A and B are shown apart, each in its own frame.
Chain A
Amino acid sequence: MQNKFGASYFLKIGLTLLVITALVAGMLAAVNMITKDKIDENNLSEQNAAIKSVYGEGDIETEEISGDFPENVGKALSVKQNGESAGYCFEVNTSGYGGNIKMMVGINSDGSVRGIGIVEMSETAGLGSRVSDETYLSQYGGKSTTLTVSDIDVITGSTVSSKAIMNGVNAALDAFASTEGSDTATEGADGATESTDASTESTDASTESTDASTEGSDEE
């Protein structure tokens, strides 16, 4: 019994753990090898489906662009539809009621919202999940200024989910503003942004700060 806590005791325990973790890691590596391609394929087709729901039918070409975008903009694509430039599409991550919402927001070359496609979300079924309904999403079409709650019809019982989509659209609009050639679009939006500022005092801090940044960029 004296030897119980000797070196061999710890060696034995350590080695057992090592063997078990190595076994599990090996199994995971094997499963990963089998499933990785399929998972990537699924994610890509999901993203393409979302882009399609924004731009409709037609030959769509996308090209990834880089730039200084807000943190929650995951991917920025410049979109060509049937060979003609059709603005930009931003992949935005926004936090809803049930976790992350990943969506594609299409912005026309003139800075107005083309449409929204939800890629991934886990909002409550029957409540928050209704933000992916066409009736809710279509109201964003044509908007070009940073939105506040008073600009949209929020879904009853799903304020958090509705606002999450709104914040996502705002992030996409911000991202668009930071791409080249968007000066005219933001200048036109200037007056409208200020008036919404004054009308809603309930706007949360994050929206206000985005408002401020839009105004800042206008003055340049």
Chain B
Amino acid sequence: MKNKYLAILKDGILYKNPIFIQLLGLCSTLAVTTTVVNSVGMGLAVTAVLMCSNLMISLLRKFIPDQVRIACFIVIISGFVTAVDMLIKAYFFELSKTLGLFIPLIVVNCIILARAEAFASKNTPLPSVVDGFAMGIGFTFALVILGAIRELFGSGTLFSGTGFEITVPGLHDKPVLFFVSSGGAFITLGILIAAFHYLIDKHEEKAEAEDK
């Protein structure tokens, strides 16, 4: 039983990582990852929505008629996204100023609908919540790595907007602005995807060798 949840967690964060492996929800990924703080904020917002929508859809999976399931999923997802949007505006106002536009767009983020369709509508509530959590953390993990690289080279800072801001002397004065632009985001993401696949493949080969 315990192994099942562990497998879901590993899938979400590593083997089926929404960004690096499934390449889902890239639009918001490229747009918000200019700083680490933005990445964490977006990642956690998506995680919250994913967990709530997965739970709700899993609970209602026998009640929702198959023919209108997508409509039902979208209503539930957009409801949670709007709620998260309002909560962020109320309690994390600074964050809402930078993430502003992208929070409502979580509604159309494919990760959430994909998990609803592929997992939550076929599984019981507890695994669904774990799956939502795992996928959300996998998403956040990818965003933070991308955000850290872009912030470091593009602005010469790390964790700006928090109390622990680190400024890199040479880079801060003459940042590589390319990393802040969307083109830089694409190229950074491409390199990260390649690196991630390499590591995963190596890991799997090793695991296979051990099995033999």
Q: Verify that A and B bind, or say they do not.
A: yes
Residues of A bordering B, CB below 8 Å: 12-13, 16-17, 20-21, 24-25, 27-28, 31-32, 34-35, 38-39, 42, 46, 98-99, 120-122, 124-127, 157
Residues of B bordering A, CB below 8 Å: 34-35, 38, 60, 63-65, 67-68, 71-72, 75-76, 78-79, 82-83, 86-87, 89-91, 93, 97-98, 100-101, 154-155, 175, 177, 180-181
What 3 A-B pairs are tightest by C-beta distance, nearest first? A24-B79, A35-B90, A38-B90
Q: How far is the CA of A27 from the CA of B49 in the complex (A)?
A: 14
CB-nearest residue of chain A to B96? A42
- Tell me how far the C-beta of B154 lies from the nearest C-beta in chain A, rounded to whole angstroms: 6
Is B98 in contact with A16, judged by CB distance below 8 angstroms?
Answer: no
Partner among B86, B89, B154 whose Cβ is within 8 Å of the Cβ of A126: B154
Further 10 A-B residue pairs, CB within 8 A, beyond A24-B75, A25-B79, A99-B100: A13-B67, A17-B68, A24-B76, A27-B79, A32-B86, A35-B91, A38-B90, A42-B90, A122-B98, A127-B177
How many residue pairs at the A-B interface have CB separations less than 8 Å? 79
Is A39 in contact with B89, judged by CB distance below 8 angstroms?
Answer: yes
- Tell me how far the C-beta of B28 lies from the nearest C-beta in chain A, rounded to whole angstroms: 13
**A interface: dominant SS:** helix
CB-nearest residue of chain B to A40? B90
Residue picked from A31, A126, A157, most chain B C-beta under 10 Å: A126
What are 24 A-B pairs at a CB distance below 8 A?
A: A16-B64, A16-B72, A17-B71, A17-B72, A17-B75, A20-B60, A20-B72, A21-B75, A24-B75, A27-B79, A28-B83, A34-B90, A35-B90, A38-B91, A39-B89, A42-B89, A120-B100, A122-B98, A124-B180, A124-B181, A125-B35, A126-B177, A127-B177, A157-B177
Is A126 in contact with B72, judged by CB distance below 8 angstroms?
Answer: no
Partner among B79, B93, B98 whose Cβ is within 8 Å of the Cβ of A42: B93
Is A28 in contact with B82, judged by CB distance below 8 angstroms?
Answer: yes
Q: Which residues of B contact A99 (CB under 8 A)?
A: 100-101
Q: How far is the CA of A55 from the CA of B15 in the complex (A)?
A: 56
A31-B72 contact in complex given A13-B67, A16-B63, C-beta closer than 8 Å? no
- Tell me how far the C-beta of A43 lies from the nearest C-beta in chain B, rounded to whole angstroms: 9
Is A124 in contact with B83, judged by CB distance below 8 angstroms?
Answer: no
Q: Which residues of A contact B87 (CB under 8 A)?
A: 31, 35
Is A13 in contact with B68, judged by CB distance below 8 angstroms?
Answer: yes
CB-nearest residue of chain B to A17? B68
- Tell me how far the C-beta of A27 lies from the nearest C-beta in chain B, rounded to whole angstroms: 6
